[in-house]
Amino acid sequence: MSPVTMHQTDLWTLGDWLAWQSSLTPHRMEFGLERIAVVWSRLGPPTLGAPVIAVGGTNGKGSTVAYLEAIARAAGYHTGCYTSPHLLSYHERVRIDGTPATDRALCAAFSRVEQARGDTPLTVFEFGTLAALVLFVDAGPDLVILEVGLGGRLDAVNLIDADCAVVASIGHDHMALLGESLEAVAREKAGIFRADRPAIIGQRDAPAALRVAAQALGARVLQVGQELGCAAAPDGAGWIWSGADGERLALPIPAMRGSFQQHNAAAAIAALRALRGRLPVPVTAIRAGLARARLPGRFQVFPGAVTWILDVAHNREAAQVLAENLREFRCPGRVRAVFGVLADKEPEAVAAPLRSLVDTWYLTASADDRAMSAQCLGERLHGVLAGVHQELHQTFKAALDAALTASVAGDCLLVFGSFTTVGEALKCRGE
């Protein structure tokens, strides 16, 4: 894998860069920090020059990042935020002060990474991570927020020693890569914690192995339900966050739907409080951030004659949360679900919690070349959806059109599963 020369890339578009990167390591994940560390050492400073919060876990990562970003910006701080995957555009992955990076900035960063790597092989995610770090060094934000892509210990984001790390939750996803038990997954996720630094756990019932691993690393553990409190306010008008030092904050219910969002918000607040010596945040900014934080594709509701509900639930725990939200939402008509997942998922575990809540299933595949085919999805769900009306459609657009054609006023259209499935729904809506 030889590097390209500068003159070859001068006129490359963002699409050219992404296609070329994918051609280098097609359909392959390579874990480990050795390669990316070598290239980072050639690119610039050993630190980003700002406090760093890393956010990992199975579910809740995106919401936690959204709260961190919204609260910090409400406090007047400049932020750099790196997330993955994206819904509509690659630009979403790198944000500075809430604004996605431009094509020009990303292409320039990719060019710098390419020249620095020499003959060192990099995956697509490693390229993207290094490009984001380069842009953050240039921008000089007050706070950098890094979302872990997959796992933790060997994920590219773990190149950076975070000043504070959050694991939002541990669930059943990517177990073929991370371990066959929740305890094994927890140990991998705990790899983003560091000795003598805050380790925030946003899940009350997280596998014990997560806390044990954090303590073994010498991190200062703060877990919701133990050192951190998260409880309904006595008057029912909000909730109470409490810290290990006895601080108590009366806060409004987060704008994002779901009771679990208070756990994500609690973890974000704990992370910012842990850094208060460098980044003091007033309570007014916390309240404002909770009200402003938004995350597309997480029980995202579009009201209308037919209500659209979009959710990237693609593992067991996320589907259980989606089911809880659907029960609370109480659609007045029938619920029609367009469902598609990637080939490495367990659709049976995702569909089971929603079986009794969906009247008709439209099983399909997104345009992603990693998507599970509609035929395979139907075969996998044969037992789970026995007795429930279902249709197979080879393309997402065909499934969506069929669901909309069958819908009448008062019905709900639920589109859920992979990011690419929900992303296609957003594109069809013109979002």
Which CATH number fits the domain that encloses residue 220? Answer: 3.40.1190.10
284 shares its domain with 382: no
- Where among 292, 313, 342 does a domain terminate? 292
pLDDT at 1 over 50: no
21 shares its domain with 126: yes
Which stretches of 140-193 are DSSP H helices?
175-178, 182-189
Residue 101 inside a domain? The answer is yes
129 shares its domain with 147: yes
279 shares its domain with 318: no
pLDDT digits (tens, 9 = 90+) for 85-143: 999 999 999 999 999 999 999 999 999 999 999 999 999 999 999 999 999 999 999 99
pLDDT digits (tens, 9 = 90+) for 18-46: 999 988 875 556 778 999 999 999 997 76
110 shares its domain with 158: yes
278 shares its domain with 305: no
140 shares its domain with 73: yes
User: CA–CA separation, 403 vs 392, rounded Å?
Assistant: 11
Residue 1 inside a domain? The answer is no
* pLDDT at site 305: 97
User: CA–CA separation, 18 vs 128, rounded Å?
Assistant: 9
Q: How much of the chain, in percent, has pLDDT values that exceed 90?
A: 85
Residue 111 inside a domain? The answer is yes
- Where among 257, 272, 292 does a domain terminate? 292
> Residue 99 has what DSSP assignment?
E
245 shares its domain with 324: no
Residue 393 inside a domain? The answer is yes
pLDDT digits (tens, 9 = 90+) for 202-241: 999 999 999 999 999 999 999 999 999 999 998 878 999 9
- Where among 245, 263, 292 does a domain terminate? 292
**pTM as predicted:** 0.94
368 shares its domain with 425: yes
Distances (CA, A) of 207 to 11, 149, 189, 377: 50, 20, 11, 30
CB-based contacts of 406: which residues, under 8 Å, 6+ apart? 336, 360
233 shares its domain with 158: yes
Q: What is the CA radius of gyration of the chain?
A: 22
Residue 384 inside a domain? The answer is yes
> Do residues 149 and 156 lie in contact, with contact meaning Cβ atoms separated by under 8 Å?
yes
126 shares its domain with 69: yes
Give residue for tokens 């429930």: 388
288 shares its domain with 319: no
Handedness of CA 255, 258, 259, 265 (dihedral sign): negative
* pLDDT at site 414: 98
Boundaries of domain holding 106: 6-292
